[in-house]
Structure 1
Amino acid sequence: MPDNLMENLNSEQLKAVLHKDGPLLIVAGAGTGKTHAITQKIGYMIEQGWAEPEEILALTFTEKAAAEMEERVDRLLPMGYVDLWISTFHGFAEKILKAHGLDIGLPTQFKLINEFEQWRLIQKNLDLFDLNYYKPAGNPTKFIEALIRHFSRLKDENITPDDYLTYTSKLHSDLEKSSIDKLKVKSKKLKVGHELTALEKLKLQLKVENVTDDMLGQEVLRLAEVAKAYQIYQQLLLNEGMMDFGDLINYCLKLFKERPLLLAKHQEQFKYIVVDEFQDTNWSQYELVKLLAAKRRNLIVVGDDDQSIYRFRGASMSNILQFKNDYPDAEQVVLTENYRSKQNILDLSYEFIKLNNPNRLEWQLSGAKIMQAEKKASVKTKAKTKEIVTLNKQLKSNQNDQGTIELIAADTFEDEVRLVIDKISEIKNSDKDLSWGDFSILVRANDTAGEFCSELDKRNISFQFLASRGLYVKPIIMDVVAYLKLLDDYHESRAMYRVLNLPFLKFTYEELVNFNYVSNKKACSLFETLRRADHEQYAEETRKKIFRILTLISNHSKMAREKRVSEVVIAFMNESGYLKHIMGLPGREQQENLSYLNQFMKRLADFEQATAEKTVKLFLEELDMEIMAGEEGALSPDLEIGPDTVKIMTVHASKGLEFKYVFVVSMVDKRFPAIGRKDAIEIPNSLVKEVLPEGDSHLEEERRLFYVAMTRAKTGLFFSWAKDYGGARGKKPSLFLVELGLVDKQVVKGTVKKELDEENFVSAKKEAKEQKEIFNLPKHFSYSQLAAFQNCPYQYRFAHILKIPIRGKGVFSFGKTMHSTLQKTFELLRERRDRGQGELFGKPKSDKPQVALDEILKFYEESWLDDWYNSNKQKEEYREKGKSILAEFYRLNKEGWPDNQLTEKGFSLKIRSGSEIHTLRGTIDRIDNLSDKKIKIIDYKTGNPKDKLTFNEKEQLLIYQLAAEEVFKEQVGALAFYYLENNQEIEFKATQADLDKVREKIVGTIEEIKQGDFTATPSPLCRYCDFFDICEFRKS
């Protein structure tokens, strides 16, 4: 643990870190060092011995947030660690269910499905739903999205199909016993505190005067139909071995409630539970953490109700308001020292968010008490009521100077865009220390961003639009999909035209016009036009280009019928010259295109994993269905893509980020705040478990969103709006600008420059040319990374910096299959050994656990990967070879299996270099116990055994020994490579000199990588490199 662990903490952060026992509420305002306080607290708990790393459960909401938290904790643990339970809620629940789901009858190898896969499941089984009220008249699938949204919200509230059906059954019963007239009479006689029936609550929720019995009866039938649809949907998921994200939390709750022993074990394991962004939890998630924390009550929640902006995802702001009721003895820490913004920006934001009172934590824990006290107090004693204040969330900046707050008003949207970009250029040019990355343009919705992107592009200002959707409309992905469509149907002329326009194919405009002319004249497809090129008077150079594209299509069409779609895409990218073309693009374009391509390859991998037939044809069918369902393709924007760029994003996407200058644009009525839209199918209030706030909850959510936008700014905060956005009517300024008091105090008038600012334009253009490639170096390393760099730094750049997709190899698929099979085999052996030792009247301890060959071969079939074999013949040869290897492995071990301790064990090893600590991560295939209380580390290899191992070949196992000794605290007696090809093992022992040498080599290699010099080192080995085709330095 760093010696200065406490030096960087303010008094309130220190108070949070030192808190030891019982519940703790940390109210963390924007920019107050929340993540720093959490990670320091986790590090301190481990250092003080309050808990081991695996005894702390830390939960957050995004993979990115979990990774950042783990990275920070990792830096605080100098000796490394084995297991850190830092994950998303869904990641935690998935891990628990895969280990214990069988205990409540769930398949442990379930498939987690996304929203499109939910849509497809319902669409495929539409006939089973027997719909009447929701029977579609036209488009048979238009209501599926509404059903999925409804089911998701039900799961946020942990409402099961049985709960819903019981509720609708009671409605039927009440309806038979009552009538509207009786309800009216009864409602007049209701006294305060009288419990309404489900039917009475439903009538109130309808908010319609003169509701008739028929109307109410139809509403009950509608709800019964939805409840039945929910039941059918859940049964379909179970039948298919699937779960959606909502299932993860609810089945985890079910598991712990129905299997108290498992709950007790996890309560015993997790001495502390930390929940980040607590204001974003839903009802089910809060129930889960309360259940796990019930024994020790060491529940630490961190959040800010003023930044609760995910109501549309099911987040329940009432959880943070409810926490003090559930844990009245909870210690409360309020972080108000702000390390981000100037004080006037904080003051403006605070005065604005107070408009959400009384539905704020600050008011509920302070204001309510003041008001109650003031009612009872005399004028003389009213001043004393200030002492009752228990929570003050007003943020105080740690900077003395004031920031800039300006309003930009324009006549038209086009003028607004120009003024905003002018202002950005003006500020940038006035301070040479500023970079484009210091500026952010925040929009309420993605469709506002296009004009700003165009203007920045026109001025040669580097920008990055960080949308969360839209992968399928990125040009590179549209190119790839067009080529796949062409392979599926040669005569798809639209696809052919897009492909022919690819710049690296070098068809001229005149050639393309001519092809289209001939195609129309002969009434044939573009493909057919090219195929008949011999009959036309084309130049020789044109014929060569035609021959090349037709040859590519021919080769890849054959491949498309036999190979998986991802193999076809990689072949196209390499053989067409597309990948080489990308590598020649400027830095930002290159990295963005590679990022999009990698995300599309991930989409293909998901498709291939879920589908038996992994062909181009089937993928295109699924993609068409996905687009029909309204899906645009998920995007995972990378903020660290260089070079330095202006960031454009939605306010939602900006959560957790900060910029020196923030521009919140298009601040007009009905855009921000946006128009409130209710769910198409609402949950009946009687079933809702969260405490629903009074007042205009939508407007309050929009205010919180605007508050988030304002508190992203460090130095300058700008708002912009225009009177004319192209519609028939003019626009009014946003209600929020009125509430801020800015509309009548315009600091910047709308003086529009009709021509581009020449000075700013030239400056931006020059800067764009001078931009250097910026590498996002990894925060931790692995043996394979180090080996790649040692082999060739340029290869490392391709593989681990740019992350260029590569074609797999059948031998790697075979290796993964064998690893997985042996892992499952030894897990079963350990389970049987532990069970035998735990049985009081069981078998004698001397009886060693056994596993049958049939069981091993069953694991083999379960683990088999079809990927990347050159042919069916090669695949079957490998399949049979694997069976033979396992049969021999079984024969060699059946009389006495090794005393196995662990398989596939991950580690995080710290290597110190001067004052700097490097992290090395890896996974050990197998660890066995030896008779002298030492361990043996085994690494499987699928190649042929070596007669003698060089130091470089020993390096991997030497690293594993360092991890075992320093992280696992084990003594290592032997290291071994186990060659599966002939079941031969080569064992050796490491000397201290070996360990010192490998440590020195690790440090040296990492230091070289961090220098960012990836100069190629060509050698005869280049021909075996995955990047041979695109490397300009290759040696033949």
Structure 2
Amino acid sequence: MSIIPGLEAFAAPTPSAPRRGPSPEELLDGLNEPQRAAVVHEGAPLLVVAGAGSGKTRVLTRRIAWLISQRGAHPGSILAITFTNKAAAEMKERVAELVGGRAKIMWVSTFHSACVRILRKEVDKLGYKSNFTIYDAQDQKRLMTLVCHDLDLDPKRYQPQQVLNWVSDQKNELRDPDDAAKDAKNGVEETYAKAYSLYQRRLAQANAFDFDDLIMVTVHLLREFPEVRETWRRRFRHVLVDEYQDTNHAQYALVAELCADNPENLDGERVPGAELMVVGDADQSIYAFRGANIRNILDFEQDFPNAGSILLEQNYRSTQTILSAANTVIDNNKGRKPKRLWSDAGDGEKIVGYVADDEHDEARFVSDEIDRLVDGGGLASEVAVFYRTNAQSRVFEEIFIRTGQPYKVVGGVRFYERREVRDALAYLRALANPDDQVSLRRIINTPKRGIGDRAIAAINLLAERESITFWTALTRASEAPGLATRSFTQIKAFVDMMEELQSMVAGGERADVILESVLDRSGYLAELESSEDPQDASRVDNLAELVAVAREFADNPLAAPSADPLDEEDGDTEPPAGTLDDFLERVALVADSDQIPEDGDGVVTLMTLHTAKGLEFPVVFLTGLEDGVFPHSRTLGDTQELEEERRLAYVGITRARERLYISRAVVRSAWGAPMHNPASRFIDELPVDLIDWKRTAPEQTSWNRQSQWGDRAERGGAFAGFNAPTAAGRRAFSSAALKADTAKRAKTSGEIPSLEPGDRVTHQIFGLGTVVTVEGVAEKSVASIDFGSEGVKRLLLRYAPVEKL
């Protein structure tokens, strides 16, 4: 075989090449038979199906050490791909412990890092300079915002992040702008394709790539320039890929370009692909929403016809009871390769099950069990609580704060620190206290309404010049120096909206109704609903949870789950709804988590199931096992998505080493309305003899509990206007439903004054005034009233304490 000049050092060694490093016995010590077979394998591509906890990292590191010390492979001829920089660093360190400093020459990196190194050397062939810039997420959004502006796209219909998500999907499928334009299915996608094309031109002008470009451009480079492809195929004679089930199409194509046999090279001479070993587990493929394609691992032996496979089934993490539970659940997925995890660690403790009345009862059970385990000599740091969506953390956080149990949220932020929650609370704070400049500045252009930095600077200048508050300056925006007409129009609309909402506060409206009105009138919820970003769907869930908090508080402010117990006065069976100020104070006290340490032996870990992948804990609580919660309501009508949810359950179960708890709630709040969800189908798939139920559904169906929910529904009602319940007992929520619910729960209005322009009125706070305009009818009547020195106020007459003189 001919060698390209300069790459002789990476050629396969002769049989007589000296071998250095640990002996074969040392490298194979402690490995079981399938693990040993994977380490010493030679020749054809190999798929290592590594079940959860089966020691795949040990196999990968020992194989790399074996290649170097026993087969004489040059470290520079080895490319090992992992999915995180942390995993790459750990793997390199472990190999270095086995074979010494030579390991530093290996390429152990993520897909993106490897592609950057290739592009730095070769990208000049595509007309780029080697010092290209890599745009991060914020850079990408700024550029796409400019692109959408230059194309004169309606920012409400074509949100930059939404366009970027679509472009990212195209790049992960290796479609360039021309391909995307040809494949566009409708007018919206045609517009997206135009934005994609201009976006790529702007990137090229800036000598820049975004994150998704790195792999796509590398694949295109290898395909377009055969001599470049052959250079790197000869360079990398051994390719290892971890977590192969999480690869997308672009990543799969990169592996194929480097490793798949192709008939001829430039000289007509056959060039074999690199020796390939991929490690993964189709049963742990849970990232389809990120573009991962489970077919890559399921079809590996078809894509590489001469490939072999080795199955790692012995688990070194969990008890047999936990593994048997995982096996029976995942067996319900169709088309998977059979695999049975087993352990020689013994059966261990039974799985503990608990059926709670509601989510608060579920959280109390978890808290009590953690206390019991700690009292028995365990550590809280050995405990993890898993849930399907980020919003579910809120009730656990509140219970842990009340009981003084330190915790940390991994892979996310605490509920009250999440952006959308802080935005919604900022609206409420600005309504309760218009002088709160920090909250007001946060929301004035959230969601975007065309009030930019220049407009805010002009308002600020007016406030400083006149020694008035920022809010007062907004109400006098016409006096602001240099304020553009368009900005003034947007500011006036914002002030009008806020003054109408302030009328609700002044009229003593319930906190949940005010919050729902804010989410509706501001357009905040509608913007999230129209987004195709999966993160925005999660943000809607979080806002639903915040409405639930406000609903609980409004229904019973003295006994809300987030409250400290207070003594009610004798005979006060229906405490009055608290004010908005009371609600904000309660939230502030619950959200104040400064005293909570970030780590230590006493900290319980909270995380979503997606975040839990790759981790393990002695004790795991798998919560929210209800159809519509887990599996998620969005997956119930799609077989493939349900199978991914089942794989997520498999991942959650196999994180537990010694003890596993499962729990569900018979009733759970969704937007504050009680939802009766059936038990998760995953519970039905667990072997009944492996579960010790501490409490089951029949025990909680007392008349009192049903009556309590019935009374609450009678007082407030489930959300009017929702779609009919799904098979899972949940409803589809929307902005339209929010409006209907707000109207249903709002205070019954008294007599609404009939006003006309010119009428004289008196207001309890603002004093004497003159009606300027009146809009709307009946409960939707809005009057603009000039109160002289207090200025013109826009008031919802349903709430405003106004009397006609």
Distance 1:38-1:648 versus aligned 2 partners, 3 A rule: same
Q: 2:341 aligned with 1:395, yes or no?
A: yes
Among 372, 396, 416, the alignment partner of 2:362 is 416
Mapped partners of 1:90, 1:156: distance in 2:
12
Mapped partners of 1:165, 1:59: distance in 2:
32
AA aligned to 2:77 is E
Mapped partners of 1:648, 1:63: distance in 2:
23
Which whole-Å deviations, capped at 9, do the CAs of 1:356-413 have from their partners, x for residues lacking one?
112x1x1xxxxxxxxxxxxxxxxxxxxxxxxxxxxx4101112123332121111121
Which residue of structure 2 aligns with residue 63 of structure 1?
85
Mapped partners of 1:41, 1:28: distance in 2:
14
Which residue of structure 1 aligns with residue 781 of structure 2?
none
Mapped partners of 1:253, 1:338: distance in 2:
37
Question: Contact conserved, 1:12 with 1:335, CA < 8 A, in 2?
Answer: yes
Deviation at 1:74, TM superposition (A): 2.2
Deviation at 1:274, TM superposition (A): 0.2
Secondary structure of residue in 2 paired with 1:337: coil
Question: Contact conserved, 1:409 with 1:722, CA < 8 A, in 2?
Answer: yes
Secondary structure of residue in 1 paired with 2:299: helix
Q: 2:403 aligned with 1:459, yes or no?
A: yes
Among 296, 299, 314, the alignment partner of 2:276 is 299
Question: Contact conserved, 1:407 with 1:742, CA < 8 A, in 2?
Answer: no
Which residue of structure 2 aligns with residue 261 of structure 1?
227
Which residue of structure 2 aligns with residue 127 of structure 1?
149
Which whole-Å deviations, capped at 9, do the CAs of 1:263-283 have from their partners, x for residues lacking one?
222111111000000000011
Deviation at 1:640, TM superposition (A): 9.6
Mapping of 1:176-187 within 5 angstroms? none
Mapped partners of 1:743, 1:154: distance in 2:
48
AA aligned to 2:121 is A
Which residue of structure 2 aligns with residue 665 of structure 1?
623
Q: 2:319 aligned with 1:342, yes or no?
A: yes
Distance 1:147-1:439 versus aligned 2 partners, 3 A rule: same
Distance 1:456-1:114 versus aligned 2 partners, 3 A rule: same
Secondary structure of residue in 2 paired with 1:232: helix
Secondary structure of residue in 2 paired with 1:451: helix
Deviation at 1:222, TM superposition (A): 3.9
Among 630, 654, 657, the alignment partner of 1:711 is 654
Mapping of 1:543-582 within 5 angstroms? none
Among 683, 700, 720, the alignment partner of 1:737 is 683
Q: 2:85 aligned with 1:85, yes or no?
A: no
Among 210, 230, 236, the alignment partner of 1:270 is 236
Mapped partners of 2:189, 2:468: distance in 1:
54
Which residue of structure 1 aligns with residue 632 of structure 2?
674
Which residue of structure 1 aligns with residue 165 of structure 2?
149
Mapping of 1:512-551 within 5 angstroms? 524=468
Mapped partners of 2:364, 2:417: distance in 1:
26
Among 302, 308, 321, the alignment partner of 1:331 is 308
Deviation at 1:471, TM superposition (A): 11
Question: Contact conserved, 1:418 with 1:455, CA < 8 A, in 2?
Answer: yes
Question: Contact conserved, 1:272 with 1:299, CA < 8 A, in 2?
Answer: yes
Mapped partners of 1:229, 1:654: distance in 2:
36
Secondary structure of residue in 2 paired with 1:748: strand
Distance 1:85-1:745 versus aligned 2 partners, 3 A rule: closer
Which residue of structure 1 aligns with residue 289 of structure 2?
312
Mapping of 1:191-206 within 5 angstroms? none
Mapped partners of 1:227, 1:13: distance in 2:
47
Mapping of 1:99-248 within 5 angstroms? 99-129=121-151, 131=153, 135=154, 139=156, 143-167=159-183, 220-248=186-214
Among 381, 385, 391, the alignment partner of 1:441 is 385
AA aligned to 1:438 is E
Deviation at 1:247, TM superposition (A): 0.7
Deviation at 1:344, TM superposition (A): 1.8
Which residue of structure 2 aligns with residue 800 of structure 1?
none
Deviation at 1:140, TM superposition (A): 5.9
Deviation at 1:721, TM superposition (A): 1.0
Moved over 6 A (4+): 495-498, 629-632, 743-746
Mapping of 1:375-394 within 5 angstroms? 392-394=338-340
Superposition TM-score, scaled by structure 2 size: 0.59
Deviation at 1:447, TM superposition (A): 1.0
AA aligned to 1:437 is S
Mapped partners of 1:154, 1:225: distance in 2:
14
Secondary structure of residue in 1 paired with 2:363: helix
AA aligned to 1:330 is A
Distance 1:442-1:408 versus aligned 2 partners, 3 A rule: same
Structure 1 gap ranges (5+)? 169-218, 363-391, 483-490, 499-518, 527-626, 633-638, 679-693, 753-1036
Q: 2:686 aligned with 1:728, yes or no?
A: no
Deviation at 1:318, TM superposition (A): 0.4
AA aligned to 2:63 is K
Mapped partners of 1:80, 1:328: distance in 2:
34
Among 610, 614, 624, the alignment partner of 1:652 is 610
Question: Contact conserved, 1:152 with 1:246, CA < 8 A, in 2?
Answer: yes
Which whole-Å deviations, capped at 9, do the CAs of 1:545-602 have from their partners, x for residues lacking one?
xxxxxxxxxxxxxxxxxxxxxxxxxxxxxxxxxxxxxxxxxxxxxxxxxxxxxxxxxx
Secondary structure of residue in 2 paired with 1:26: strand
| Cα RMSD after superposing both structures | 3.5
Question: Contact conserved, 2:622 with 2:662, CA < 8 A, in 1?
Answer: yes
Which whole-Å deviations, capped at 9, do the CAs of 1:483-532 have from their partners, x for residues lacking one?
xxxxxxxx98438999xxxxxxxxxxxxxxxxxxxx9xx98559xxxxxx
Count of aligned positions:
510
Which residue of structure 2 aligns with residue 201 of structure 1?
none
Mapped partners of 1:696, 1:401: distance in 2:
33
AA aligned to 1:442 is F
Distance 1:473-1:420 versus aligned 2 partners, 3 A rule: closer
Question: Contact conserved, 1:408 with 1:420, CA < 8 A, in 2?
Answer: no
Distance 1:16-1:240 versus aligned 2 partners, 3 A rule: same
Which whole-Å deviations, capped at 9, do the CAs of 1:908-937 have from their partners, x for residues lacking one?
xxxxxxxxxxxxxxxxxxxxxxxxxxxxxx
Among 630, 641, 662, the alignment partner of 1:698 is 641
- The 10-residue stretch of structure 1 (300-309 or 106-115) with the greater mean CA deviation from structure 2: 106-115
Distance 1:306-1:81 versus aligned 2 partners, 3 A rule: closer
Mapped partners of 2:22, 2:62: distance in 1:
10
Structure 2 gap ranges (5+)? 1-20, 261-271, 427-434, 443-462, 471-532, 540-596, 701-805
AA aligned to 2:607 is M
Question: Contact conserved, 1:721 with 1:733, CA < 8 A, in 2?
Answer: yes
AA aligned to 1:443 is Y
Distance 1:80-1:456 versus aligned 2 partners, 3 A rule: farther
Question: Contact conserved, 1:22 with 1:297, CA < 8 A, in 2?
Answer: no
Distance 1:109-1:719 versus aligned 2 partners, 3 A rule: same
Deviation at 1:224, TM superposition (A): 2.9
Deviation at 1:72, TM superposition (A): 1.6
AA aligned to 2:166 is H
Which whole-Å deviations, capped at 9, do the CAs of 1:53-98 have from their partners, x for residues lacking one?
2210000112222222222222222345442200110111112112
Mapped partners of 1:335, 1:116: distance in 2:
42
Deviation at 1:424, TM superposition (A): 1.8
Deviation at 1:332, TM superposition (A): 1.2
Which residue of structure 2 aligns with residue 280 of structure 1?
246
Distance 1:640-1:89 versus aligned 2 partners, 3 A rule: farther
Distance 1:709-1:82 versus aligned 2 partners, 3 A rule: closer
Deviation at 1:20, TM superposition (A): 2.0
